[in-house]
Amino acid sequence: MTVHLRKFAFAFVFCCFISTDGALLAQEVASGAAVPAPEASAQTTAPSAAWRDVSWRKLPSNFLRDQKDIWTFPGKLAKGRHWLPTATVVGITAGLLAADKHDAPYFRRTASFQGFNRAMNGKATALETGLVPVAFYLIGLARKDSYAQKTALFAGEAVADSFILYAAINAVSRRLRPSDIAPNGNFSDTFFRPHKTVFNSSFPSGHTMMAFSVATVFARRYRHRRWVPWVAYGVAGLIGFSRITLQSHFPADVFLGAVLGYSISRYAVLRGR
């Protein structure tokens, strides 16, 4: 059983990595977006590129442009754009939603992940996700590395964008968390249920969305260092998996959170000039 669980965890993290960097690649091709060209910085030869500029002064306007792009996306679908990646994500999410009633009860009842859960509890992972951009900015400031400082600002912008979208979907979906359901309860009827507190529904996973939004910024900005994307997406995938083992979210919630976090950073925050 232990070997089976390890294989499941590895497969989940790997699928998150592949789905975010593969399933949505069609969006970039379909939209005709060019792959960013290399740009040298004072500290490194990172391929930073044709991305728009960012600074403390530009953050508010960049954020508003991000929000405009995010909330007008349905209009682009109405014009026949981005149907392939959207249909792919919707299809996978629907499949996971159908499977939730079968896989969620196992994670609701098992005690196999107690050690993992103690290390990856919700407060710790949220703090880590928020502190990464702050720490990276301070390091860049100390080293006079403007590229690192801008990377941290992009990551902070991505977290803010992710939180707004998460809050909106969360407030509408009102999905029960697995921990709200008895171990032998009904895991089928979970949406549009009353909640005592705001932003406490399960769909999608906010932790996963923000973790992948930060991971994508670092993976894209430092992709010339081949280990960075693997570490960034690997850590984000572990955070997402922990949301399932902690019984805070269903697999479908985590998958959609990962895709949304990736998409926000890749196509809104790290947009071309």
Six-digit token pair at 131? Answer: 């502190």
> What percentage of the chain exceeds 90 in pLDDT?
49
Question: Do the domain assignments include residue 28?
Answer: no
pTM (predicted TM-score)? 0.80
- Kindly calculate the radius of gyration of the chain based on its CA atoms and give it in whole angstroms: 19
How many Cα atoms are found within 13 Å in the side-chain-facing hemisphere of 49? 18
Peptide bond into 204 cis (omega under 30): yes
Question: Do the domain assignments include residue 21?
Answer: no
Question: Do the domain assignments include residue 1?
Answer: no
Phi, psi of 113, deg, nearest 5: -110, 25
Dihedral sign (CA 207, 210, 215, 218): negative
Question: Do the domain assignments include residue 27?
Answer: no
Question: Do the domain assignments include residue 9?
Answer: no
Q: Which candidate, 180, 200, 77, places its Cα nearest to that of 69?
A: 77
State which residues form the domain around 49: 39-269
Domain of residue 91, CATH code = 1.20.144
User: What is the tally of structural domains in the chain?
Assistant: 1
Q: Report pLDDT for 17.
A: 41
Q: Report pLDDT for 273.
A: 64
Q: Report pLDDT for 167.
A: 92
What is the per-residue DSSP string for 103-171? HHHHHHH--TTHHHHHHT-HHHHHHHHHHHHHHHHHHHHHTT-HHHHHHHHHHHHHHHHHHHHHHHHHH
Helix 122-142 to helix 146-173 angle, to the nearest 10 degrees? 160
Task: Please report, for residues 69, 98, 178, 219, the alpha-carbon distance to residue 187 in angstroms, rounded to integers and kept in the order given.
Answer: 35, 10, 8, 36
Q: What average pLDDT does the chain have?
A: 81
Question: Do the domain assignments include residue 29?
Answer: no
Question: Do the domain assignments include residue 13?
Answer: no
**pLDDT digits over 201-260, tens only?**
899 999 999 999 999 999 999 999 999 999 999 999 999 999 999 988 999 999 999 999
Question: Do the domain assignments include residue 168?
Answer: yes
The β-bridge partners of 51 are 272
Q: How far is the C-alpha of 55 from the C-alpha of 144, rounded, in Å?
A: 14
Range with lowest mean pLDDT among 24-33, 165-174, 240-249: 24-33
Tokens 């996963």 found at? 208
What is the per-residue DSSP string for 74-94? HHHHHTT-SHHHHHHHHHHHH
